[in-house]
Amino acid sequence: MNSLVNDVRKHRELIPLVVIVTGAVSYGIGSIIHTTLKKDVVVDHVNNPFPWQSVDPNEFKP
């Protein structure tokens, strides 16, 4: 980690690249977390093949 910081300090032109890559990775991880926490994503098809049938009508938020 220190070598990355030292490289960025020596080569200032790397700062935009590091910021953009960090933002893209953060957005990707956030999207994955957001998607897996939704009710319409099925991760386990064996134990609950039709999870949308067990959703209450008041639980849906558009």
The pLDDT value recorded for residue 41 is: 72
Taking the CA atoms of residue 20, residue 23, residue 28 and residue 31 in that order, the dihedral angle to the nearest 10 degrees is -140
| Residue boundaries of the structural domains of the chain | 1-42
Place of tokens 């049938």: 53
Q: Does residue 60 register a pLDDT over 70?
A: no
> How far, CA to CA in Å, does 42 sit from each of 36, 55, 56, 60?
8, 13, 17, 16
The pLDDT value recorded for residue 23 is: 98
Q: How far is 56 from 62, CA to CA, in rounded Å?
A: 14
Phi, psi of 20 (to 5 degrees): -65, -45
The pTM of the full predicted model, rounded to 2 decimals, is 0.59
The pLDDT value recorded for residue 47 is: 75
